[in-house]
């Protein structure tokens, strides 16, 4: 499989056009998506591993396991990738919502005894109450600081003469301790410095001076840098708890990976896996994989997926290589045909006897005769290889077979698209089921189908489709008149 990954201008989190890109939305957990991607990029070629995975899925698909399986799938949405959690634990839980979110909505929120909401609000790790008695007592003291500071401020205010007419506050700053906040006078100095100017000036701001007296120093000695003490104690608790958790790192990571394996599993019919290079699919259907070609079902199987079919016998495939039509773009330096040649050249170099090569309309981007010659040359090369891969090629070059350019041989099997014919209708035109009629049979709105039928009829008569599409219907005309009115 050639996976070009994210586009040049897209972020790494956006998956480009690939088989994994179609399936990643079914995985709920980060580790499930990672494992699913690795299974698609590097499918196992060990038959025992594939059968073991399919047996594992078969247990959960049993009817009597439906309810437990449904609950388990819903529960997987809350499982985080513990590999990243363990990395953060080894580094030490730090600030920032990115690391905190690794624990939120998981068992870690309870196991680590971390107050997630308070941690996000304060930008640091906050330990829940009830974990450490000494920490709880210090926090209670810190929470009661406001009333204590208010009481001390009132006491200090009574010592200041009324003639000063100033407001006094006592504030606490982490690392700076307790200070008396006094307004500045016209000289940009503290309006009051104590009865004998014994208060020591610590620092000033735009409109206040912060000073210390014997009361402030006494509070510094008794209470200390209380906020810093709380932070240090919480760091010690979390670090100690992290070391205890890391003792079980191997078991926890294994459990996380198992959740990823379960999350990356899919449902449908179990195929028979064989060593021979075969692809035998009977009654293949889409069922939720409308964007995935049936040939890719063999690759699905090897990453432990069942296939949407009545039955399937599949050989081991080490990779799927695709040569599909290249979209025209003025931003590309090379021509579309040159891009097709480079893509097929890469495929031919990478292909092995266990590979599946899909070729769609190769050679149509150049002169018809050159295209036929190149297509025949590629197919002859593949057919004559001693260790030939499985190849499914689609082409409109009927001349290849009509003129005998590609000789029949046992390893070459031919197929063609079928036309569905209804025997009941009397008119010959009504016997053929065209694409827009298939659309009606598969639930497309009848209005859309009728419009498609009308456009097809206009095209058959050679009329101007642009002019026809520009004509408004009666309903559209009325809606336009109502909007203008």
* pLDDT tens sequence for the chain (485 residues): 333 334 444 444 455 556 677 667 767 777 777 777 777 777 777 778 778 777 777 777 777 877 887 777 777 776 777 777 777 777 764 434 444 444 444 444 555 567 777 777 777 778 888 888 888 898 898 888 889 999 999 999 988 888 888 889 999 998 889 999 999 988 888 889 888 888 999 999 988 999 999 999 999 998 888 888 988 888 888 788 878 888 888 888 888 887 776 666 544 567 777 877 777 777 665 443 333 333 344 444 444 456 666 778 877 788 888 876 655 555 666 677 788 888 888 888 888 888 888 888 887 777 888 888 888 888 888 888 888 888 888 888 888 888 888 888 888 888 776 655 556 655 555 544 555 556 666 567 777 777 877 887 887 788 887 877 777 777 878 888 888 86
Query: Phi then psi for 46, rounded to 5 degrees?
Result: -90, 120
pLDDT of residue 208: 92
Segment 107-111 long-range contacts (CB within 8 Å, at least 24 positions apart): 108/80, 111/245
Complete DSSP assignment for 237-281: HHHHHHHHHHTTHHHHHHHHHHHHHHHT---SBPPEEESS--EEE
CATH number of 134-224: 1.10.1420
Complete DSSP assignment for 61-91: TSGGGHHHHHHHHHHHTT---HHHHHHHHHH
Q: Give the number of other Cβ atoms within 10 Å of residue 278's Cβ.
A: 12
- Contact assessment for residue 406 and residue 376, using Cβ atoms and an 8 Å cutoff: yes
Secondary structure of residue 204 in the 3-state scheme: strand
How many alpha carbons lie under 13 Å from residue 48 in its C-beta half-sphere? 0
Contacts (Cβ under 8 Å, ≥6 apart) of 346: 2, 321
Q: What does the alpha-carbon distance between residue 299 and residue 305 come to, in Å, rounded to a whole number? A: 9
Q: Round the CA-based radius of gyration of the chain to a whole number and report it.
A: 37
pLDDT of residue 304: 47
Buried b (16+ CB within 10 A) or exposed e, 313-336: ebbbbbbbbbbbebeeeeeeeeeb
Angle (CA) 173 178 180, round 5°? 110
- Is the full-model pTM beyond 0.85? no
- Contact assessment for residue 241 and residue 284, using Cβ atoms and an 8 Å cutoff: no
Give the domain ranges of the chain. 14-108+235-267, 134-224, 275-315, 319-403, 435-483
pLDDT of residue 118: 79
Secondary structure of residue 142 in the 3-state scheme: helix
Among the four given CATH numbers 1.20.140, 1.10.1420, 3.30.110, 3.90.1070, the one describing domain 14-108+235-267: 1.10.1420
pLDDT of residue 109: 52
- Contact assessment for residue 436 and residue 447, using Cβ atoms and an 8 Å cutoff: no
pLDDT of residue 434: 53
Q: What does the alpha-carbon distance between residue 286 and residue 74 come to, in Å, rounded to a whole number? A: 25
E strand intervals along 145-207? 169-173, 177-183, 200-204
CATH number of 319-403: 3.40.50.300
Burial of residue 234 (CB within 10 Å: 0-12, 13-18, 19+) is: buried
Same fold, 134-224 and 319-403: no
E strand intervals along 330-457? 356-360, 390-394
- Contact assessment for residue 205 and residue 176, using Cβ atoms and an 8 Å cutoff: no
Q: What is the largest CA-CA distance in the chain?
A: 119
pLDDT of residue 326: 58
């Amino acid at each position: 499989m050639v996976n070009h990954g994210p586009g040049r201008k897209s972020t790494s989190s956006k998956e480009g056009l690939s088989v994994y890109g179609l399936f990643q939305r079914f995985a709920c957990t980060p580790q499930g998506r990672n494992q699913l991607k690795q299974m698609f990029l590097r499918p196992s070629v060990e038959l025992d591993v594939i059968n073991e995975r399919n047996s594992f899925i078969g247990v959960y698909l049993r009817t009597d396991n439906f309810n437990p399986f449904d609950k388990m799938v819903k529960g997987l949405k809350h499982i985080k990738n513990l590999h990243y959690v363990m990395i953060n634990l080894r580094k030490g839980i730090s600030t920032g919502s990115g690391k905190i979110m690794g624990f939120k909505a998981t068992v870690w929120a309870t196991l680590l005894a971390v107050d997630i909401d308070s941690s996000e609000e304060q930008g640091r790790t906050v330990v829940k109450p009830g974990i450490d008695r000494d920490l709880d007592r210090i926090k209670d003291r810190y929470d009661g600081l406001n009333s204590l500071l208010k009481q001390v401020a009132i006491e200090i205010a009574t010592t200041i003469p009324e003639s000063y007419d100033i407001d006094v506050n006592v504030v606490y700053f982490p690392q700076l301790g307790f200070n008396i906040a006094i307004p500045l006078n016209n000289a940009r100095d503290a309006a009051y410095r104590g009865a004998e100017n014994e208060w020591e000036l610590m620092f000033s701001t735009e409109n206040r001076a912060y000073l210390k007296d014997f009361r402030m120093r006494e509070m510094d000695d008794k209470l200390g840098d209380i906020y810093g003490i709380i932070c240090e104690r919480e760091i010690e608790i979390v670090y100690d708890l992290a070391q205890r958790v890391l003792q079980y790192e191997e078991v926890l990571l294994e459990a996380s990976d198992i959740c990823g394996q379960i999350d990356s599993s899919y449902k449908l019919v179990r195929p028979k896996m064989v060593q021979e290079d075969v692809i035998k699919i009977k009654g293949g259907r889409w069922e939720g994989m409308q964007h995935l070609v049936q040939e890719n079902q063999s690759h699905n199987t090897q990453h432990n997926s069942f296939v949407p079919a009545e039955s399937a016998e599949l050989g081991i495939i080490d990779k799927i290589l695709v040569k599909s039509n290249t979209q025209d773009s003025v931003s590309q330096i090379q021509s579309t045909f040159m891009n097709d040649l480079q893509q097929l050249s890469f495929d031919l170099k990478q292909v092995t006897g266990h590979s599946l090569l899909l070729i769609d309309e190769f050679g149509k981007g150049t002169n018809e005769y050159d295209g036929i010659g190149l297509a025949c040359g590629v197919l002859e090369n593949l057919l004559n290889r001693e260790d030939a891969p499985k190849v499914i090629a689609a082409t409109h070059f009927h001349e290849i077979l009509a003129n005998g350019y590609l000789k029949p041989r046992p390893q070459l099997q031919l197929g063609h698209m079928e036309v569905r014919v209804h025997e009941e209708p009397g008119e010959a035109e009504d016997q053929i089921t065209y694409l827009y009629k298939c659309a009606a049979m598969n639930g497309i709105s009848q209005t859309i189908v009728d419009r498609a039928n009308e456009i097809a009829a206009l095209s058959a008569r050679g009329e101007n489709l642009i002019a026809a599409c520009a004509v408004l219907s009666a309903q559209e005309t009325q809606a336009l008149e109502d909007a203008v009115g």
